[in-house]
Structure 1
């Protein structure tokens, strides 16, 4: 079973320190996501929740499906 743990840090350096600690304890780098975004809180939550349901990794399409916003012309929501 895969578990998701989210951490919130005051600075990027603190987040990098936590990432280094996880790597030292045997976590794979591919299992650690360290986003540094300036988006609003709601957009961050939408991205996080969308990632739970995105089979293709395209969170934008999943978020569009959840919000009812149509995808760009010529694209379909998966």
Structure 2
């Protein structure tokens, strides 16, 4: 037996790339509406309550709102889709 065994050669993926992309797209087609519908439902449900508590540190009340920062926040939706590829 040799002292240093070589690792087995890497085999090509058992599943074609096109099939992987199709499966990812199907998952995205299911997960995106599911996420947005449950997120919207949770917001609606919270809006029907008279008082919804919040857990906030006192220093957070002093953080200013900077309007342009919504753009990077919205771009996370693109990354949700890209993560499945």
TM-score (normalised: structure 1): 0.25
Q: Which structure features the higher share of helix residues?
A: 2
TM-score (normalised: structure 2): 0.24
Greater RCO structure (CA 8 Å; 6+ sep): 2
